[in-house]
Amino acid sequence: MFVHNSEVKLEDLGDGVSRKIMAYSDKIMAVEVYFEKGAVGPLHSHPHEQLTYVLSGEFEFTIGDETQVVKAGDVLYKKPNVVHGCVCKEKGVLLDNFTPMREDFLEAGNPYAKTK
């Protein structure tokens, strides 16, 4: 399966945050998340493991009880059910990878089929 970024719809989540669900199967999902400066990824938790790669920008991230500033090239790991969130300090893009995939992200509908 090939996914061309230019063909993936950018979904506006409001408050300066948008995302593209790039590809997924039952076991894994890749999502680009776009942040305007000052936008907030509210503190939350979920049962999925999550790796976040900072593609661009600067973010203040909280994972559990630790907060750090991260920039392009940095990676964050979030264990299942650990509270995490961020504030965008400089407009940027994150690449989130989840296992298993986030079924809740598909509830609004996504034009790209699952692969198994």
Domains of the chain (ranges plus CATH)? 8-103 (2.60.120.10)
Closest CA to 20 of 3, 44, 1: 3
3 state SS of 12 = strand
> Per-residue pLDDT tens for 56-105?
999 999 999 999 999 999 999 999 999 999 999 999 999 999 999 999 89
Pairing relationship of beta strands 29-35 and 17-24 according to DSSP bridges = antiparallel
The confidence score (pLDDT) of residue 108 equals 59
Asked whether the predicted pLDDT for residue 111 surpasses 70, the reply is no
Distance from C-alpha of 81 to C-alpha of 45, rounded to nearest angstrom: 5
- The more confidently predicted of residues 85 and 109 is 85
Contact 49, 79 (CB under 8 A): yes
Contact 78, 70 (CB under 8 A): no
Q: What is the CA radius of gyration of the chain?
A: 14
> Per-residue pLDDT tens for 9-46?
999 999 999 999 999 999 999 999 999 999 999 999 99
DSSP state of 27: S
**pTM for the complete prediction?**
0.90
The confidence score (pLDDT) of residue 53 equals 98
